[in-house]
Amino acid sequence: MPDSPELTWLDPSRPVPDVLTPLPGPRARAVYERDQRVTSPSLPRAYSLMPARASGAVIEDTDGNLFLDFNAGIAVNSTGHCHPRVVAAIQRQASALLHYSASDFYLPIYSEMCEALAETAPMPGPVRVFLTNSGAEAVEGALKLARYATGRPNVLAFFGAFHGRTYGAVTLTASKTKYHQGFGPLLPGVFHAPYACNRLDPVTGARSHDPEETFDYLENVLFRYEVSPTEVGAIFVEPIQGEGGYIIPPPEWLIRLRELCDRHGILLVADEVQSGMGRTGRMWAIEHAGVTPDVVISAKGIASGLPLGAFMARADLMERWTAGAHGSTYGGSPVPCAAGLATLEVIKSEGLLANAAEQGETLLAGLRELHATYPGLITDVRGTGLMIGIEFHTAEQAEEVQRQAFERGLLVLECGESSIRVSPPLVITREQASTGLRLLNEALRAAAG
């Protein structure tokens, strides 16, 4: 990665964390105390990380400690922290035009971003795009489009799914009951089904997949007793479940889901908020199964950290709604669009898809060795590219390994019921991957002890 004057404080490819003070340090504790006084207690903090600045895959906290970032801001900082080309694009745009609403006027960079994103679409063109501020907003928009374009009131999602926390998105979400608790009644017309028969063996803790369970449930239970498929407008699916535990369905499951949608005239909506933008070694995770969706939802890594999301659909679907049916004051604002355009260019020109696949294989191989070394902790290792899940026997073990890793300068994050996600920036180097594996080994050894 090229240097810039703003980033000379740190080599972004530096592999070795440097924890100088007991965590949290004195400045971090001051941040924590202020935070506890004024912020919403609904924010689910994982551990006491107080980032001050960052570059590549390395973060410096308020006390000068350096951390190797293996969660990338929850899969957001796709091109790494403060990539010079992304920063430069942001600075240029910020000095020219900070905001004008694309809902009411023809903002040039808005359609430029839509065009660039449409060129990556995993479905044949023509494709139209709507830009939002976040993944949850993109899910809401796709939900509205599905109902509007099909005239059907009902939609399906899956157990274990996470689609966001706004009302429509949280109704689709079914990864944890806490996301629903206290907020009912939720959106009507939303049903859930088993996801790729994602079962945990009660003895070994390993996961198994039987695609038949999903389709048996849909055809012989849901469509027979609760809702006619002729009144289902869309099925929302994560090609790889994210917050639900980094669960990877077999390709044939997604293929059969596409066939079921075609048979009943249902739209297939791929929620790629976490799995897209190159994280799996391809631009979109659904491409691994060779499946063509009708709608794709993106956010997180789309703008390397700035608030931008999108949903893109076949043009014939998007063209069914009329002016005023959907809009957004800030969605697709100039500065996030500039970051998004730079992000797409960096992913392409710097070979980040290939790097995600290569470093992902390195990490998977090392993690499988750790699985064999610590069978009393780890029950499963699974992943594609830089979207890797490590499953433990218990949630307490996952939490302890997360804590031990943090204290050694490695940032990972829990997901699902008892898993940790490994989702570093796409710019991660081989040396950083090796360092991460060494630190995870140390964390596992400490947790086992």
The residue extents of the domains of the chain are 5-79+351-448, 87-349
Which helix (H) or strand (E) segment holds residue 263: the answer is helix 251-264
8 Å CB contact between 390 and 419: yes
Superfamily the domain 5-79+351-448 falls into = Aspartate Aminotransferase, domain 1 (3.90.1150.10)
Given pLDDT bands bounded at 50, 70 and 90, which one contains residue 210?
confident
pLDDT tops 60 at residue 2: no
C-alpha span between 197 and 93 (Å, rounded): 47
Query: Hey, which residues does 60 pair with through a beta bridge?
Result: 53, 66
Nearest to 284 by CA among 43, 56, 123: 123
Tell me what pLDDT residue 3 has.
Answer: 37
Which residues 6+ apart lie within 8 Å of 85 measured at CB?
Answer: 2, 79, 342, 345, 346
Which helix (H) or strand (E) segment holds residue 295: the answer is strand 295-298
Q: Under DSSP, is residue 182 helix (H, G, I), strand (E, B) or coil?
A: coil
pLDDT tops 50 at residue 126: yes
What is the chain's mean pLDDT, rounded? 93
φ and ψ at residue 207, rounded to 5 degrees: -100, 145
- The fold for domain 87-349 equals Aspartate Aminotransferase; domain 2 (3.40.640)
Q: State the average pLDDT over residues 289-300.
A: 98
Q: Under DSSP, is residue 426 helix (H, G, I), strand (E, B) or coil?
A: coil
Residue 407, both tokens? 């204290």
* pLDDT tens per residue, range 235-265: 999 999 999 999 999 999 999 999 999 999 9
Residue 58, both tokens? 């390395």
User: Is 205 exposed, middle or buried, given 0-12, 13-18 or 19+ CB atoms closer than 10 A?
Assistant: middle
- Rounded to 10°, the helix 334-349/84-96 angle is 150
Half-sphere exposure of 444 (CA within 13 A, CB side): 23
Percent of the chain with pLDDT over 90: 90
Given pLDDT bands bounded at 50, 70 and 90, which one contains residue 145?
very high
* pLDDT tens per residue, range 392-406: 999 999 999 999 999
Give the CA-trace dihedral at 426, 57, 332, 270, to 10 degrees. 40
C-alpha span between 234 and 229 (Å, rounded): 10
φ and ψ at residue 140, rounded to 5 degrees: -60, -45
Sign (positive or negative) of CA dihedral 280, 283, 287, 291: positive
- Whether 5-79+351-448 shares its CATH topology with 87-349 is answered no
Half-sphere exposure of 427 (CA within 13 A, CB side): 31
- Give how far Cα 183 sits from Cα of 39, 112, 179, Å: 20, 39, 8
* pLDDT tens per residue, range 104-115: 999 999 999 999
Tell me what pLDDT residue 6 has.
Answer: 37
Percent of the chain with pLDDT over 70: 93
Which residues 6+ apart lie within 8 Å of 376 measured at CB?
Answer: 393, 448
Tell me what pLDDT residue 125 has.
Answer: 85
